[in-house]
Chain A
């Protein structure tokens, strides 16, 4: 399975980011470059999980507001800045779901479905695509999160671990188990 290059950072980019973060800690107005760098990524992450585009923009703004407010707590020794933002986004999203402001949806592309079927070593057929689609609907939220991060958004395990606050290994195991669960559901039916 290919990995989305958007989620990879070179060391020079990370150094640049480190400087931006240090500046933003001193002056919130200097958060601008970080906002421009991550706005689209965070928006797509949020929008992927809901129907309402306007609400997705609102939640994204809320994520950055929280990030600026709490940037003094951010330390480079922990997770990379991007993953820290995703954690805030995850928390804001679930708050919005709890407040019933937005409805949780799962957005899938046909390409994802075929890739997952390939990953399962099964035949790509209309029937199997339909079965998989129905099986995803039966997964628990925790499993859907893994599926979205790994198979729809193609994030590396390390980043999945950082976003979900689990180890890289655990992210690998969980991703594997989601496929196993899907297989079980498909073949049970």
Chain B
């Protein structure tokens, strides 16, 4: 916290404005054509529909081939390089620069059905229409990393914090696709079909996708197949629903967006027009003839009424005393000007008084002129309102038509996907039967469709431990480290809990805590220096200060293998998962 930090002057801030630079950066972010809205507009949809039609035909033929040539017909290409890394994305930041978990790289040609198999046995299938690359004749570099342990996810810098907890993972995979260094698009109508091998049974785990725009994990859908239950848990209907939402979003044609925008504008203008509608009272016109009465009053006292010539009064509605007052002959009357041009009129007869709130109303020529003016303004507004209402009706009709077209297209896509899912389910069941016949090796798999490149994870959140009632010092090589970041690996929770200096809440370094049993803490100072200590929570004092004596790690030693050794982790097998 800073107290009374010197303020920066407005002039200095203004001098730093650079709108041209922002425009320049915007141009650098120029989207490829297939990500633009117009591409998904009416013309684009028609083109895509033709392309889908063709690809469905081709796919059906391929499916027939696949059925005839058994399950081994998936064409896995050998990985080319394991050292060819991509740069970290903003939310995936390895703790030590220069150290990372390498990707397996595959060359995949757009326009061709291809299935690749990763080193851990996961498969990724591409339809001919999946990869939307600028150059369809050149291969796309598909890079895949599989995180089978806590160490590799740590070294790669995958964020594992979710709300008030950290994820225990049962299998996590990252997939990226580029051509000449530029990310290629994934056709939302032919997403990647991924069968990810897991290293724990699926029970208790959910499926998530890492939203790299905000660093948060989002619920996603997959179909688990576990050897333990020997049943494939089909989640087809929710999958179809979530796909519908995605498709609607992605296929929304430009015309639909424009219609919605115009309807919104019309609604705003209609509300504005309603506010602008003239009120008869503003023009001193009669609203209810039954409430109009005349008065004799001294115009010297009320010069504003003299100007109006022959003015009468209209009592405001809902004054119960009105009928009594008009029946009576009064000796005297007093006027008092109130707010908004209204008058309080007090009627006097002997000791008896009563009053009315009334407003002046015009008569004769003045009334005629005011009526004309009122009608003219009202008529203009009415005319404009009618125009807008008609336009809105026409737009709503057109919106319905566009919606119907989209619905039809979505239904077609949904049917095609369900068919594909059924086929893959059948393939999986056949695979299980085949394995059961030989010496069975059971596997747990998460099958899902990927509409975006990124990280997919079977996870279960584990709560942050309660803050320890202790103060901590961190000593490494005799020096007291000024810790910026701490990573606590809890063995009982199988998760990595991160704490940062300057944060608030459970992720604050001051709120560090430990679950029961064995823990390993890694700490990092502002220069990136890393050190660690293994300990059991029961070894810590109950209160006071605890000095961690840490072993430092050279940056070059920050590899998944070394971290695994520190954590005592073995790379788990994805085979016989359910039998463990």
Contacts and interface: CB of A to CB of B under 8 A. Distances in A.
Contacts of B25: 61, 65
B510 to A, nearest CB: 9
A98 B264 CA distance: 36
B23 A28 contact: yes
Contacts of A140: 504-505
A98 B215 contact: yes
A133 interface: yes
A77 B16 contact: no
B214 A141 contact: no
B267 interface: yes
Contacts of A94: 214
B19 A32 contact: yes
Given A91-B214, A104-B502, A139-B504, A65 B1 contact: no
A177 interface: no
A69 B1 contact: no
A91 B501 CA distance: 20
Given A40-B10, A141-B504, A133 B264 contact: no
A103 B2 CA distance: 12
**B interface residue count range (under 10 / 10 to 19 / 20 to 34 / 35 or more):** 35 or more
B26 A136 contact: no
B273 to A, nearest CB: 15
Nearest to B92: A99
Contact of A106 (B1, B22, B90, B503): B1
A11 to B, nearest CB: 11
B3 A141 contact: no
A74 B388 CA distance: 22
Contact of B215 (A32, A95, A139): A95
B19 A35 contact: yes
A95 B214 contact: yes
Interface string A89-114: 00100110111100111111110000
A155 interface: no
Contact of B1 (A97, A99, A137): A137
Nearest to B24: A65
Given A65-B26, A144-B504, A95 B90 contact: yes
B554 interface: no
Interface residues of A, number: 45
B250 to A, nearest CB: 15
B17 A69 contact: no
Contacts of A65: 22, 25-26, 29
Contacts of B13: 39-40, 43-44
Contacts of B490: none
29 contacts: A29-B23, A31-B19, A32-B19, A35-B19, A35-B22, A36-B17, A39-B17, A61-B25, A65-B25, A68-B22, A68-B26, A69-B26, A76-B268, A91-B214, A95-B90, A99-B91, A103-B502, A104-B504, A105-B1, A106-B1, A107-B1, A108-B4, A110-B4, A133-B3, A136-B1, A137-B1, A140-B504, A142-B504, A144-B504
Given A32-B19, A40-B14, 20 more contacts: A39-B14, A61-B21, A61-B22, A64-B22, A68-B23, A77-B268, A94-B214, A95-B90, A95-B214, A99-B90, A99-B215, A100-B93, A100-B484, A107-B1, A107-B5, A133-B1, A139-B504, A140-B505, A141-B504, A144-B504
Interface of A: 28-29, 31-32, 35-36, 39-40, 43-44, 47, 51, 53, 57, 61, 64-65, 68-69, 75-77, 91, 94-95, 97-100, 103-110, 133, 136-137, 139-142, 144
Interface of B: 1-5, 8, 10, 13-14, 16-19, 21-23, 25-26, 29, 90-91, 93, 159, 214-215, 261, 264, 267-268, 484-485, 500-505
